[in-house]
Amino acid sequence: MRAMSAARVSAATTVRQAGRLRLTVDETGRITSVAERRHLERPFLAEVDLAPAIVAGGVESWLDREVGIDDDEIDITVRRENSLSVNLRHSLSTGWASRLLIVNTGAEPLVVERLPLRVRPAPGHRVSALAAGSRICWTAQAEDGHGPLLTVRLTAGAAASIGAEHIEFGGLRLTPGQRYVAQLRWELLATPRSVVVGPGRDVLVARAVYEVGESALLPDDPDAALVVPPDVAVDSIEEADLAGREVFVTSPGRHEIELRSAEGDVRWELSWVRPLADQLQAWADTMLARPRTSAGVVAIEDLPSAIVLQAALGAGGLEDADDASDALDLLTARLLDGPAPGGGANPQSVLYLLGEHGRTGDLDVVDAAVRQAEILLAQGAPPMPGLGLAVLRMVLATASGELGSSTAGRVSSVVAQCVARAAQHTGDGDDRGRDDRGGEEQDPGISAVRRAAELELLLAVLPLLPPDPGHHQRISELVRVLGAALGGGLPGRLLRPPPVTEHAYLVAVLRMLPEDGYPEVTRSWGAPAALLAQQATLQVLDRLTLGTEVGTDPVAHLDPSSEIAAAAAWLALVQRHG
């Protein structure tokens, strides 16, 4: 084993095998690439290494770093003068295991608040995880949804938290000479489904977000004490095919739940949110408290808020239904007289106007919606989010038989152009996350949204497309990408989810899938397509309505300048089309 300064950097690298995995290691012992040996061009990880620790209230830069690299082992030891030694050992044989050994080498008790193991995913991968104390489930999945997946589970010790680029240990109080050991085991699994029935079982619950009134089922272990905050209720279930302890709440919030036992404490941070319909009603109520015009009408000036109000009014239950109707009438009159708020034509203005036709039966708004759609199509741009849903609403408006022959003919022309555009994009083939020149991968969020918009349009016009097996193949590939963008039903949450508006839009497109959900793709997911859509909806509501602190239940107002309104509009459209 050789010692080196922590500041020394070397370009030398070593390649090691661990079963089906190939690891690239630099001279400092830092793992710089982890890939499946048949697909070295698609690495799962870009870095695995020790990060600076927080010890006794201060950030520690290690004094030295000893590294040993053998055929079946990578060994790294860092030290804090006269007080702490940390050893990270990667064992490589038919598989890969990592052991973290923390020792108080000083003469006084020592508190290690945070000791992160940096685990940085490679570009082109998303990570879903659920940290549960002595149990974790962490999974890296390719953005295109193709396997295999890299997972890690704890076989000893406990994780304090999991972030987008680290697994953190900490909260350790070590007496002189005391040792603490944590061990991780890395595995390759074929599909999200195999993760759920494998490492996912370690964390006992696969989901982190529930509807208010819905319960999370925990095992009924007589040797484990269940610890819950006062706002969380517990009920025992003993049925032939179901047994355990249910935890649930009656109001929205985020809570820590813990099972304590001699085998190790298991902790979850679980959220409960209002059902989508109830949350839309709550948002609509806050909108009706906005300032009014001189005529006493609530001023709704942005399309996202109007779409939410429109959906809530259509669902019934609004106490101030007349005020809501007047507010929508005022905005609609403005749209008929001029451009949509925020500029020119966009799919949301088309969707809103067609929604107004459904609410009022006014034929003038259909004509205005078709005019906006014609402007959109004349731009010749790739499919935009909302275009497919707009096509569906136009077809529904035509089916009513109330449109004049001129407007009906224009609707048919718009639909025909959308069919042609969908067929054209299907013929472009699968670019697997590359740009149109076959160059570097694009930003993951933009890429997912662009593909979702293509999928949305294809699903909307599929019955009108000419017979071609390429259409089904392209839809299947886009469904695979969409599923991966929403976590694929893997346990826990996406550690780096897309921006919340894009997240909500992806949910809306997923809700458009047919009942069977393209089983050649979705049967490999960790949850059926309909269940994944529901879980993803709750995750978006969690992001929109709950604070970052455990136990909070803030009111999320629909500020038209915020992302909340834009994301809520997509959820409102899901409610109307789900």
Per-residue pLDDT tens over the stretch 304-333: 999 999 999 999 888 899 999 999 999 999
Which residue(s) pair with 127 in the sheet? 140
For the chain, domain boundaries: 2-203, 209-273, 276-577
**For residues 179 and 100, what is the distance between their CA atoms, to the nearest angstrom?**
10
Q: What is the mean pLDDT of residues 543-562?
A: 58
Task: Look at residue 23 and tell me whether its pLDDT is greater than 90.
Answer: yes
Strands (E), 221-367: 225-227, 233-238, 243-248, 253-260, 266-273
> Amino acid identity, residue 477?
E
User: Following DSSP, what letter does each residue of 502-529 receive, concatenated?
Assistant: HHHHHHHHHTTS-TT-THHHHTTSSS-H
Q: What percent of the chain has pLDDT over 70?
A: 90
Q: Kindly state the average pLDDT of the residues 221-241.
A: 88
Among 120, 65, 104, 59, which residue's Cα sits nearest to residue 88?
Answer: 65
Going by pLDDT thresholds of 50, 70 and 90, the confidence category of residue 575 is confident
| Res. 204 pLDDT band, cuts 50 70 90 | confident
Q: Is the pLDDT of residue 533 over 70?
A: yes
The predicted pLDDT at position 561 comes to: 55
pLDDT tens-digit map of 385-417: 999 999 999 998 888 778 888 889 999 999 999
Residue 86: which of 110, 111, 65, 59 has the closest Cα?
A: 65
CATH for 209-273 is 2.60.40
The pLDDT, as a whole number, for residue 180 is: 96
| Higher per-residue pLDDT: 531 or 551 | 531
From CA 4, how far away is CA 335, in angstroms rounded? 69
Half-sphere exposure of 461 (CA within 13 A, CB side): 29
Instruction: Please write the tens of the pLDDT for every residue from 27-64.
Output: 999 999 999 999 999 999 999 999 988 988 887 778 78
Q: What pLDDT score does 205 carry?
A: 86
Instruction: At 335, give phi and psi (nearest 5°).
Output: -65, -35
pLDDT digits (tens, 9 = 90+) for 421-440: 888 766 554 444 443 323 33
Residues β-bridged to residue 185: 97, 153
Give residue-wise pLDDT tens across range 333-369: 999 887 656 556 789 999 999 999 999 999 999 999 9
**pLDDT beyond 90 at 262:** no
Query: Across-strand partners of 225?
Result: 260
Residue 239 is predicted with a pLDDT of 80
Q: How far apart are CA 334 and CA 279, in angstroms?
A: 28
- Whether cis (ω within 30° of 0) applies to the bond prior to 230 is no
- What confidence score (pLDDT) does residue 556 get? 52
Per-residue pLDDT, 436: 36
Percent of the chain with pLDDT over 90: 64
49-63, 146-160, 228-242, 548-562, range with the lowest pLDDT: 548-562
pLDDT of residue 443: 45
Fold of 2-203: Beta-galactosidase; Chain A, domain 5 (2.70.98)
Higher pLDDT, 291 or 317: 291
| Tens-place pLDDT, residues 96-154 | 999 999 999 999 999 999 999 999 999 999 999 988 788 889 999 999 999 899 999 99
User: How much is the mean pLDDT over the chain?
Assistant: 87
Strand partners for 326 = none
Do residues 306 and 331 lie in contact, with contact meaning Cβ atoms separated by under 8 Å? yes
- Specify the long-range contacts of residues 530-537, CB closer than 8 Å, at least 24 apart: 531/489, 532/483, 532/486, 532/487, 532/488, 532/489, 533/507, 533/578, 535/207, 535/209, 535/489, 536/486, 536/487, 536/503, 536/506, 536/507, 536/510, 537/276, 537/507, 537/511, 537/571, 537/574
d(CA 519, CA 522): 5
Least confident of 146-155, 542-551, 563-572: 542-551
Of the candidates 250, 281, 251, which has an alpha carbon nearest to the alpha carbon of residue 552? 251
**CATH annotation of 276-577:** 1.50.10
Does residue 377 carry a pLDDT above 50? yes
